[in-house]
Amino acid sequence: MPLTDAIHDALHAAGFTAAIRTTRTLSADTHQQVIALTLDDSSSLVTKLTPHDSGDRLHAEADSLSALSKPGILLVPRVHALRDTDTHTALLMDQLEPASDADDGTWARFGRDLAAHHQATPTAPFGWHRNNFLGRTPQPNADSDDWVDFNATSRIGCQVELAKIHGHLTARESEPLQRVIDRLQDLIPRHPAPALIHGDLWSGNAIATVDPDTNTPRIAVIDPAVSIGDPWADIAMMQLFGGFPKPCLDAYILANPDHDRLESRIGVYQLYHMLNHLNIFGTSYKHAALSIAHQLLAI
């Protein structure tokens, strides 16, 4: 089935009847294409397309976006359709309108909204009802009542094993990482207040956009990898890879009263993401991962 048929199938499933006026490729690689669509009725949409055998990635993303949107606090692109064809899987969403005038107040509001979202989401077992993906890496989410055990197996431990399998870590290099796993009970709480976390909240996944309801600047979140976990895991990622504006982080810290052992908690959660980057991009991230491990062992 041609690629354009997959797009039309998703549009039809979502109830769009206007013809496609223009298409524009936003990004493309061997795993996924992201295409902006403008219809004759001026609807602006984005479709993500993967080969059919990789379609679980988009099923997981649609599930994550729907979950983040349910509390009604964060601005999340609306999912219109998720369709499997013989050759492709297509995820159809609203396109975000960029805002060029997002100021400190806009970012501070996002910090407060994120804290409110974390405090409003379900108190369920840690994990999620399905496995999903952190970037290209499978992310296991088996339910657990123990956050320490969950991180030892489904987060840090899983990434260390992947790095060893991929040849990114020798047995000797993995030793400090194993010592961190053995000490997790001293570094993170066993039972933090559970929250539905975005899971991959780096700066590229928080977009300054125009709120369609108020026509004012607002921050929207995209490309989540959700699970129920410690809300500070989102903040840990927000402090990596370019970071977020200070007013955003300050507003979040003020709105979240739980400040227990933040240095070690954030370090553990950043180690998870650094190991994931090691597994995706290779050994250029090895030094950073091991450096975080040694810092944690010194606490």
Question: What is the model's pLDDT at position 153?
Answer: 98
Question: What is the model's pLDDT at position 18?
Answer: 95
Question: What is the model's pLDDT at position 236?
Answer: 98
Nearest C-alpha neighbor of 262 from the set 293, 227, 283, 233: 233
Question: What is the model's pLDDT at position 295?
Answer: 98
Sketch the domain layout of the chain as residue ranges: 3-94, 104-297
92 to 5, 22, 60, 66: CA distances (angstroms): 13, 15, 14, 13
Question: What is the model's pLDDT at position 2?
Answer: 53
Domain 3-94 has CATH 3.30.200.20: yes
CATH ID of 104-297, from 3.90.1200.10, 3.90.1170.40, 3.40.50.2000, 3.50.50.60: 3.90.1200.10
Tokens read off for 103: 């100021």
Which of 9, 200, 223, 230 is catalytic? The answer is 200
Question: What is the model's pLDDT at position 169?
Answer: 96
101 is catalytic: no
Q: pTM of the entire structure? A: 0.95
Task: Quickly list DSSP for 161-178.
Answer: HHHHHHTSS-TTTTHHHH
Tokens read off for 138: 């499978």
| Strand extents, DSSP E, 3-147 | 20-28, 33-39, 44-51, 79-84, 88-94, 132-134, 137-139
Residues of the chain with pLDDT under 70: 1-3
What is the tens place of the pLDDT at every residue in 5-16?
A: 888 999 999 999
Tokens read off for 42: 């001026």
